Amino acid sequence: MTPRLSLTIASLLLCSSALAAPTKPMSDFQRFTSYPFMERGYREAQKDNWAEVERLTRHVLGRVPNNNEARALLAEALAHQRRYKEAEAIAEDLDDNPEHADALLELRLTWIEQDPPTASQVEAWLADSQGQQRVRLWQAYSVSLAKFGGAAKALEWLNHLPVREDGMVLRMTRANFAEQLRNWGETIDQLQPLADQGQLPPQDWQRLANAYIQQLDEKGLNSLLASAPSQDAATRARLAMANRAIAMGHNQQAERWLQSLPAEQLQHPEQRQQLWELAREGDDAPLVRQLSNELQRPCLETVDWLSHKDLKLAREQLGQCQARDNPRSYAILRQRLYGDPAQPAQPRTAAQWEQRYRQTGDLAALEQASFMLLESGQSERARQLLDNAYARHQGRLTPSLLQRLGNLYARNDGPLDSPRMLALVPRVDAVTRGQLLGRLAEAGQCDAVRKAIPATPVEAGQYRALGRCAMPDQPGEAVVYYQAAERLGDSGSRLPLAYALEASGDSQAALPIWNSLPASAWTDNARLTAARGSLNAGDANAARRHWDAAAHQSADDWALGAAIAQRQGDPQQALAFQREALRHAPRADHYYAAAGTAQQAGDSAQSSAWLAEAVRLAPDQPRYRADYGMRLAGSADKQQRRQSIPYLERATRDFPEDYRLGETLALRYDEVEDSASARRELRRVLDVERNLVDGDDEYGSLEARKYRQRRAHETLSRRDSITLASTWSPAGTPTNDKFLDTGERSGTSRRARSQNVQLAMWDHALGEEPSRNGSTLSVYGRVLFGGQSRTDYAQSMGTGVGLRYKPLGQANLNLYAELYHQRQIDSTHYSGLSLGELLSPAKVGGNWGDLRHNAESSNDLLLRATASFLDQGKYRNDWRIDEDDWDERFLYLDAAWWTRAGDHAWLSRFQQGHAWKLPSQSPQTIMPYGFLEFASQDPSNDWRQDARAGVGVRWQWWFDDDRYNAYRGSLKVRAEYQQALGGNLYERGNGVLLGVEMNF
């Protein structure tokens, strides 16, 4: 319910409650006890909490039944909750005075507007209503029916209502709906009785008149005009009837109604012109003559028409004409009307007129001869005759003869005689001059055209010829010339202007011209150009309409249709059009465009085949070769990827600035295990990008791209890697770089033998190239030192040399085979070595002596495999150029087997964190992270497990980069808290782990 209606209902109900005579007034005590609940009810009403309002008012009525104010507010609350029947019952309980009746009416009107009841319900209300209340009810319900069911449903219901004292309003309402349905008979049936009684308002009189007009009912309209509300209304009706009759082809009827207009209205030029046209179509000769003279039509034109209709009137009219206006036409008409015989000696054929000219040199005879030759289709003979006369008389011919000769040379099928045409240019009128200049411009004689045109052109034809000369090399200049011609009134320049705008790249400006071209101006070429322009302007639907209306004869036409369908989001239709284009003498560019369409349509095989055909047809087209190389490089077939290298090598020479070609070529070199060429190509790309100022694109910034390329170069060129690391852990070690259990504590203590581990490792890649398609074979050596507490160092030492093999280029899997030697000082000889004592040569030397002479040693063959997953792409651990923060994660798996001791170890760790750049000049990040870790070991064939989780923070610094290589080294410092979740490997030891690692 709208606020206005709810306010109306509430106010009327309140007034009615105040004026209700039969209701016993409330006592002061009843008013006092009701006040708190009513005041709260009004507050809830302001909040639209109508359920609470209902509860409060019902509570008041339960205590004070005669509180009309509460009853009124209750009715409003029910109406707001769309419980209209309950609200109606409450409103009916108020009193039967007029104010209450109006309140009930407003409630019912609101009910009809928002939740229309059934027709029977409304008809029951109508049966109990009188006067204006009844009218408002059926008006509201008919509007509701029209809104939800249409005007026909509303009219059908109104026709079933009995007519009472509201008959006039009911008929006018029915007529209104009938007019909406264009049911003119029903409109007349409803309004004519009111017109007969003189009760028809002006608006409904106009409605009834329109119904008669639509049915071309002259009798009904003539009868109605007698009761017109005003003279203007009657005049408008007569004029509308005339226009309707014209539209329906009833010209005589239209003429009668036009003549029935008042004299002052009939004097308007548009009415007289309309009546003149009707008179001509109706062969009304006297009226045509009268109106032609009044409208000042050409006298001879009127005589010509009358000569076919009424000879007497034609002769009278001829007497009013002047022969000098058009002597030839006057003579022909006079002969037609009076039958004057031709002079006996007058020639009758072109040959006779030509003979007279040759005998007498009479230019009038030349006029007749050339005219008759043209009429008989002998244009070449006429041109030769005029050409000879032009030379004979040294160009001094009559204007009409010069005009005729100029027209013959301006025709496309005429000879191209530039000297003669240029000589005629200053002797003919502006129209013929423009045609001659246009013919020369079309033939490419633009130097002659420019010489024949003054420095400041003044004619549209001159501008049009200059525009044609400017096309197609200088379309912008052509636009200026064509626009100047159009300003001088040359409508023929609009189509060339549209072509010039399209050629200059301003398709948006050409659209209004295409949209306003008459049907006669359209050609297939124009429609195809308009389609291309609409496509360039972004209106693919308009482009499709133009394209569909044209004939498609060439591959270019079908390729345009494919581009339009592609823009409309219909790749399959676009592909079908491309197939059709390739059936019409296709060129290499058609195969190239079709390849792009097929790729978008998901047919990669067809796309590749068409792209290969484009390269075959145009082997010297660098763009085709480059795209074909990229297509082969992205193939799932390794052999095809290998075939892409020659194409990419040539493409990088053709497009040295295209970094994508260089990067792709480097990848393909790497795949065929030619790392040296891959590095060389990456260096070339980096050299090209070194001097770029703005190289950002949709794939990222220039600096990020250069960093990616430098990282790839560094990875391909890395041969030696050194790692230095130290870890202080609460229990065990974070990797499988652990020391073998000697058996001394087996079964007695399950805490790890080492609380801290220091590692130094050197890895050297073997082979001519460090990397072969991502696969490497390295020899490495390492030294480990360990202590059983956080403060003791180097109680154990392990050394190893071995081979590391990375078999897969796209997966971080490493296989190790290592000869491992371990020495451990027994507890009786180990006196401890703290961190500070590492600076004392004596302490270090003593510890070294213990390791050599008082330590248990063992040798073993260690087989080990490590793998890392989920750490590529956006989760990689590397510096980012154009990001301020990023996510990192990894899943690390590590399995080790000491073959001689028979010990096994397993470690898996999942870690994820978010790194932020630190505000410093050097590349540094800080990353909080969380992790889950599981470890398992079986010293002395006693399997033990440990599961733990924790959180930590890591600081990382990258260093050692140059022009071609990204950072080779990094330093990481981390601290994490570990919480044991279960297992017996480390006795569920909790605590803080500290780690430092440097790689370079």
Q: If you write DSSP's letter for every residue of 874-914 in order, what string do you get? A: GG-SS--SS-SEEEEEEEEEEEEEETTTTEEEEEEEEEEEE
Amino acid at 420: R
> What stretches of 792-866 show up as alpha helix (H) in DSSP?
841-853
Look at residues 636, 633, 612, 632 and name the one whose alpha carbon lies nearest to residue 624.
612
DSSP SS3 for 837: helix
Look at residues 74, 99, 73, 90 and name the one whose alpha carbon lies nearest to residue 20.
99
| Residue carrying the six token digits 């026709």 | 159
Question: What are 35's two structure tokens?
Answer: 């006040």
| Residue carrying the six token digits 């400041």 | 456
Q: Are 486 and 464 in contact (CB under 8 A)?
A: no
Pairing of strands 969-983, 944-959: antiparallel
Q: Are 843 and 876 in contact (CB under 8 A)?
A: no
415, 416, 417, 418 alpha-carbon torsion, rounded to 10°:
160
In whole angstroms, give the CA distance from residue 679 to residue 151: 80
Peptide bond into 201 cis (omega under 30): no
What does residue 361 show for φ and ψ, rounded to 5 degrees? 75, 15
Q: Quick count: other Cβ atoms within 10 Å of Cβ 502? A: 21
Amino acid at 897: W
Residue 785 per-residue DSSP state: E
| Residue carrying the six token digits 């020639």 | 347
Q: Are 288 and 280 in contact (CB under 8 A)?
A: yes
| Model confidence pLDDT, tens digit, residues 757-775 | 889 999 999 988 898 888 9
Report the Cα 177 to chain-centroid distance in Å: 42
pLDDT for 619 equals 92
Length of the chain, in residues? 1000
Question: What are 116's two structure tokens?
Answer: 């229309």
Q: Phi/psi class of residue 174: alpha, beta or left (left: φ > 0; alpha: ψ in -120 to 50)?
A: alpha
What does residue 889 show for φ and ψ, rounded to 5 degrees? -160, 160
Domains of the chain: 1-114 (1.25.40), 116-229 (1.25.40.10), 620-712 (1.25.40.10), 718-999 (2.40.128)
In whole angstroms, give the CA distance from residue 775 to residue 815: 12
In whole angstroms, give the CA distance from residue 375 to residue 381: 12
CA distance to 136, 157, 176, 200, per residue, from 142 (Å): 10, 8, 11, 21
Question: What are 801's two structure tokens?
Answer: 């040399």
| Model confidence pLDDT, tens digit, residues 930-974 | 999 999 988 777 788 889 999 999 999 999 999 999 999 999 999
Question: What are 59's two structure tokens?
Answer: 């509570």
Question: What are 37's two structure tokens?
Answer: 């609940």
- Residue partners of 873: CB distance under 8 A and separation at least 6: none
In whole angstroms, give the CA distance from residue 674 to residue 346: 100
DSSP-based helix, strand, coil % in the chain, nearest 5: 55, 15, 30
Look at residues 860, 833, 862 and name the one whose alpha carbon lies nearest to residue 849.
833
Look at residues 602, 530, 534, 612 and name the one whose alpha carbon lies nearest to residue 567.
534
Look at residues 175, 93, 161 and name the one whose alpha carbon lies nearest to residue 129.
161
Question: What are 674's two structure tokens?
Answer: 């030619």
Pairing of strands 720-728, 991-999: antiparallel
At CA 20, angle to CA 17 and CA 25, rounded to 5? 85
In whole angstroms, give the CA distance from residue 57 to residue 62: 8
**From the DSSP assignment, how many helices (H) and strands (E) are in the chain?**
44, 12
Report the Cα 493 to chain-centroid distance in Å: 33
CA distance to 896, 938, 940, per residue, from 741 (Å): 14, 10, 8
pLDDT for 805 equals 96
Report the Cα 858 to chain-centroid distance in Å: 73
Which secondary-structure segment (H or E) carries 995? strand 991-999
Instruction: Count Cα neighbours of 226 within 13 Å in the Cβ-side half-sphere.
Output: 9
Q: Are 142 and 154 in contact (CB under 8 A)?
A: yes
In whole angstroms, give the CA distance from residue 457 to residue 300: 37
CA distance to 85, 674, 784, 795, per residue, from 759 (Å): 89, 34, 5, 14
DSSP SS3 for 977: strand
Question: What are 572's two structure tokens?
Answer: 């399959």
Question: Dihedral of CA 716/717/722/723: which sign?
Answer: negative
Question: Residue 933, class by beta-carbon neighbours within 10 Å (0-12 exposed, 13-18 middle, 19+ buried)?
Answer: buried
In whole angstroms, give the CA distance from residue 378 to residue 366: 14
Q: Is the pTM of this model over 0.75?
A: no
pLDDT for 752 equals 46
pLDDT for 899 equals 92
Amino acid at 132: Q
Question: Dihedral of CA 358/359/363/368: which sign?
Answer: negative
Q: Are 773 and 756 in contact (CB under 8 A)?
A: no
In whole angstroms, give the CA distance from residue 613 to residue 81: 73
Amino acid at 988: R
In whole angstroms, give the CA distance from residue 847 to residue 834: 11
Look at residues 441, 489, 490 and name the one whose alpha carbon lies nearest to residue 467.
441
In whole angstroms, give the CA distance from residue 378 to residue 405: 13
Q: Are 955 and 972 in contact (CB under 8 A)?
A: yes
pLDDT under 70: residue ranges of the chain? 1-24, 93-103, 249, 251, 254-255, 258-259, 263-268, 271-272, 295, 340-346, 693, 731-754, 789-791, 827-840, 842-855
In whole angstroms, give the CA distance from residue 915 to residue 886: 5
Q: Quick count: other Cβ atoms within 10 Å of Cβ 76? A: 29
Question: What are 871's two structure tokens?
Answer: 């750490």
